[in-house]
Amino acid sequence: MASIIRIKRSGTSGDPTTLAAGELAYSYLADNGSNGGDRLYVGTGTEIAGNAVNHEVIGGKFFTQMLDHAKGTLTPNSAIIVDADSKIDRLLVDDLVFDGSTISNTGSITFDTNGNNINVGNVRLYGVATPTVDSDGVNKAYVDNAVTTNTFTIAADEGTNDSFNTATGTLTFQGHTGLSTLVTDDNIRFELDSTSVTPGSYGSTTQIPTFTVDPQGRLTAAGTANVATNLTINGDAISLLDSDVTFTATGNGLTLTYTTSTNTIDYAIDDASTSTKGVVQFHDSDFSVTSGVASLDTAVMKGATTASGDATPNNHIMTFAGNAIQGLDASASGSTVTLTPRTATYSQLGVSKFESADFVVNSGDVSIDSDFIRSITTDDGAMTIGGHAISVLGGEGINVTHVGTSIEVAGEQATANNLGVASFNDQDFNVSSGAVTIKPSSIANSDLVNDDVTIGDTAVALGATLTDVTGLTGATIDTIRIDGNKISTNTATNDLILDPLSGDSAGGRVVILGDLLVQGTETIVNSTTVSVNDKNLVLADSAADASAANGAGITVNGAGATITYSVAGDKWSFNKDIDAPEIYRNGVILREYIEDHLGNNFFAAGEGMDITYGSGQDSDNTISFSAELATYTNKGVASFDSDQFTVTSGFATIATLDGGTY
């Protein structure tokens, strides 16, 4: 059957006090404008103590009854619904009434357009009242009357002001000297009177225009006057019509400046400096100047500049000293100082000339002649050339010969007594990228100088079989090391395997004639049968007490079954079931012990559950579990109302879900 869902509802309250998120509630309390009735609510947002933070109104009679009226008809206390033409019959906005083509109001109407214009669509406004203040609109009658009675004042640059009446007067615009007026319809045009000056252009490249101006500023006459066309400079005639005169400065401290506003050309000479030419003033302690000619005073010595620094004279005395080590001698005779370089030797720096057969000298730049070898680099670095001779000699297995200017370096052929180049028989050798290897089986053992090898003190021929070796103090075979009475593996190998049947067959038998002592951390036996002759199997034989023996026992891999000793409680612990005819604990059969423990200690009654275990149940070997009936204050089992629930095979469905009232 279909389920009935009833939401929360009330006929006495509006907005419910508690409404969960997503929960609906409807108030059918008659709305009075403030009680929240006739509305549908839904809870939204976060729940706090089962109540959503928002109770949103999403519908209800309060809103739907506002739409229950004829379309296009303005109805009190109702929403506006337009008709099929998107119209309503009338509209009330505060004091304004829009009814048909009429807009009425109980008071005045104010148009606030925020400074924008009102466009009436080129239609006539009528019924406009007579204005009373300056900001009022006007009607035609008011304007006509104002025009017929209006006067204004006329003023000009000269004369007195005059009052003009627009209704009775005629305003005349009259021209004066050189100026005429013309009225056409509503247009007044002012025109200049013509003079005797002929229209045209005056002046040319050889003439300048001349004009006569009357007191009113008009041109009454116009003509031209010839001007000179040549300029003579130093007897040279220069045409002013097609030539330019250019003033330039030639440098050396001379500069030219032209000012366009005054048409002035200004020449100036810069002050002289150590790096630029110019005008200079001479100090009278060092120079004599006569008629513009400057001469250096005979007692003046300013100083000297050398490559290594400047020399400062002492009391106008400058000393020129030669350097014998550097190969320069200085001498003086009268007013002449002579610097003479020495001739260079092996022990003396100085000047020298260069042998043209060995050197090239160009503008003082000396280089070794191209016929001379400057350096030679070999595989082990650059070599030093002694004199002008170089020897290229062959080493072991190398011959060096020359023909003319060509040097040939060739390898000697290898012999029994001489190293050299050789070829390799491809039947005996492999050659790849210069690497030579011997092919397998290409050389017989008997062809070798040493055709046997001695192991320990036993000699064995190459290719022969050795069955007995003596004299060895130790041996390493693969990863097995035999040293004295010890057999071990290398550090990278964890296992030492004894395989008596070989081939990793897990067959055969290893017999140890004597005791077996295992001093490791694990002893693992992978066998189908383990037979121990002793009656007693000792575990944890090194344990000092029960705590040290904790966890000792038997483990069955694969099944994960264990029997271990636990020091806690001083007991054996089994992790698997035990299948035995009867098991006793402290003289009590285990079944009875378990029943008593479960009935009296293990099982505890929870909410809605009762447990009964007493003498009657003990003798019957039963523990009774009874469910309590559910109440408003006690959880338990219950039946379902057939009006609201349908129960089929233990499955309950709701026939009616009622949110209740509030």
pLDDT digits (tens, 9 = 90+) for 518-577: 888 888 888 888 888 888 988 888 899 999 999 999 998 889 999 999 999 999 899 998
Contacts of 137 (CB under 8 A, 6+ apart): 125, 128, 131
pLDDT (0 to 100) of residue 300? 62
155 domain residue, yes or no: yes
What is the arrangement of strands in the sheet containing 8-10, beginning at the earlier edge strand?
Answer: 8-10, 24-27, 39-48, 51-59
pLDDT (0 to 100) of residue 2? 64
588 domain residue, yes or no: no
The answer on 81 and 36 residing in a single domain is: yes
The answer on 60 and 145 residing in a single domain is: no
pLDDT (0 to 100) of residue 351? 87
Of the candidates 402, 384, 404, the one whose C-alpha atom is nearest the C-alpha of residue 392 is 402
Its domain, for residue 145, covers 128-168
pLDDT (0 to 100) of residue 462? 78
The answer on 89 and 147 residing in a single domain is: no
- The letter for the amino acid at 36 is G
Least confident of 202-211, 379-388, 452-461: 379-388
Average pLDDT over residues 509-522: 87
pLDDT (0 to 100) of residue 378? 77
The answer on 144 and 93 residing in a single domain is: no
The answer on 88 and 50 residing in a single domain is: yes
Of the candidates 150, 168, 186, which is a domain's last residue? 168
652 domain residue, yes or no: no
The answer on 148 and 83 residing in a single domain is: no
Would the pTM of this model clear 0.75, i.e. be above it?
no
pLDDT (0 to 100) of residue 632? 82
Average pLDDT over residues 608-613: 81
Average pLDDT over residues 440-457: 78
631 domain residue, yes or no: no
What three-state secondary structure class fits 62?
A: helix
Residue 147, H or E segment: helix 140-148
The answer on 90 and 17 residing in a single domain is: yes
pLDDT (0 to 100) of residue 144? 80
- The letter for the amino acid at 660 is G
Q: What is the tens place of the pLDDT at every residue in 204-222?
A: 877 888 888 888 778 888 8
292 domain residue, yes or no: no
Beta carbons of 174 and 166 less than 8 angstroms apart:
no
Q: How many domains, in total, are found in the chain?
A: 3
The answer on 163 and 95 residing in a single domain is: no
What three-state secondary structure class fits 600?
A: helix
Enter the tokens of residue 550. Answer: 């904790």
Reported as a pLDDT band with limits 50, 70 and 90, residue 45 is: very high
- Residues of the chain with pLDDT > 70: what percent? 96
pLDDT (0 to 100) of residue 279? 87
Reported as a pLDDT band with limits 50, 70 and 90, residue 387 is: low
| Mean pLDDT estimate for the chain | 84
558 domain residue, yes or no: yes
Enter the tokens of residue 142. Answer: 């008011």
The answer on 11 and 95 residing in a single domain is: yes
Enumerate the β-bridge partners of residue 573.
Answer: 564
430 domain residue, yes or no: no
Residue 446 per-residue DSSP state: G
Average pLDDT over residues 7-28: 94
Whether the predicted pLDDT of 1 surpasses 60: no
Average pLDDT over residues 629-643: 83
109 domain residue, yes or no: no
Average pLDDT over residues 393-397: 83
pLDDT (0 to 100) of residue 386? 66
Whether the predicted pLDDT of 381 surpasses 80: no
Q: How many helices (H) and strands (E) does the chain have?
A: 4, 47
Whether the predicted pLDDT of 39 surpasses 90: yes
